[in-house]
Structure 1
């Protein structure tokens, strides 16, 4: 939309090379250094003969509008389906011994406090934050009443399957674990996106992370370490290289993938084409291709089973990384030439 708006400015105002910025302090747009208010309209250009486009734009401008929003019907610009590639099956192997030990290799500097620190206070906008505390007493009922959005619970780096997920936003906030005094409790919190509206002036209602009042058998848990997980391309590539550049390949029994972990594999592409990642047989997690984050998969929830992988991310030799949060049924993935839905 921004590109379209800039193009229309050149139509409405000539080819003057002006400036257009956002004044975040005063919550306004600035055009050529002066406050500017959008008065936008919408046009379906595909319904108007191209010879009349200039006339319609002039009429819109005469009405007092200074910006245009358009809908692009890609089915008209690309009337035939694009060619997709079936790259087939890719075998994966786990990096490290468990999910937690691997993610700590790419964690950001931790902050310590009596209570957990949320994403915003850590200046960690998205992804995951790992919360760690040492238990002074044992217990069974872990309660996290203010978690956002999903938490994955580990005791001594062992995932508390099958009830290891705690869910915020009016979902399940208590699970049963088996913990002893001196055990290390870790909760990996995943944010699932942020709302783009709120009922107050500031978006503080959509804070992410593990908040206060975490209890074990009703006793508050204190002294937490809060650590953001770095998911930049450089960090993700470093995990892959630790396995790919190893002198010997690691053994990878099929049963190993039943646990959460970070998994890596490679495939060759003789022709570079769009493709689809098929998450069938895997649990819940995140896909990276050549270090680029291509989104979350959760086949049980759906509706999409596949993730679209655009051609620009495909190389002759490709590295696949999965951050698998709950465990899988197999040690391979497939790249197919069609989308799959529930």
Structure 2
């Protein structure tokens, strides 16, 4: 039923749709719903403790026997720059005073952990069918250990050069992440946001350059996007923002409200929430501090000083100081259960490809 069914056999899916692993936006419930509908469910692990990862995997296994993807970050742990952190907190001090917070209070450290030996041992124990990486790949010895478990390895590329790098290191498939995608850019060989290109251009260039199957990601929110991705040579798609509209998503009320206004809201790539470029809906902090700030500390440290501002405003329904991650196609999304959405997206794409 699909012209290119390599990803179906490779990952054990019946539909070529991967649920994007969006840290903080979904847990095993979303992954189970997508998996039972025929796609690949994902559990984002970058913000979870090892014990929480075990709990999520156990809950997934108890609910379904479908394949599971565990996703990890591969960023380098930044050197703590006390002066830089202080400068960032000083930049945000007016907001602290506005909200009756003490600007001198030490900011908490972000909890996004890179893939390391401890997490690798966890993968060896849990044996997920798929392991995906963002921001490159782990050290060769860790990658070899992951592959030895039998897991299929996926990783994100935002340029052809990154795709060739991943292909040369034995990835089973490459996620071509166009600039339209919501959340963090998977950039790891470049830091130049200005040269990032869109899905329509990126996917066929990566397809032509690498040997392994390519998964299209970025701005795909309906059957038309999936059909277009297959016409460009993709063997599957990864969808994120559309799943944020599902009841299984764990996003906050302000985030849901912002997504519901996606047809009138603009998105932009910003580093003010974490220190790395990530696409979200423009809010107060982004407008007033600049979309890309040269003061924001390295990933993930920028989030520490922002966290108290979010904690003080989110309960009242404000999205002023929280990341409202979203791709560029939120205006195409409609609320539905994750299972219903997965099946409908596939059916709509098949109907278009059959014309």
Q: Which bin holds the TM-score, normalised by the shorter protein?
A: under 0.3
Q: With the length of structure 1 as denominator, give the TM-score of the two structures.
A: 0.24
Q: Report which of the two structures shows the higher radius of gyration computed on alpha carbons.
A: 1
Q: With the length of structure 2 as denominator, give the TM-score of the two structures.
A: 0.23
Report the structure, 1 or 2, having the larger strand content. Answer: 1
Report the structure, 1 or 2, having the larger helix content. Answer: 2
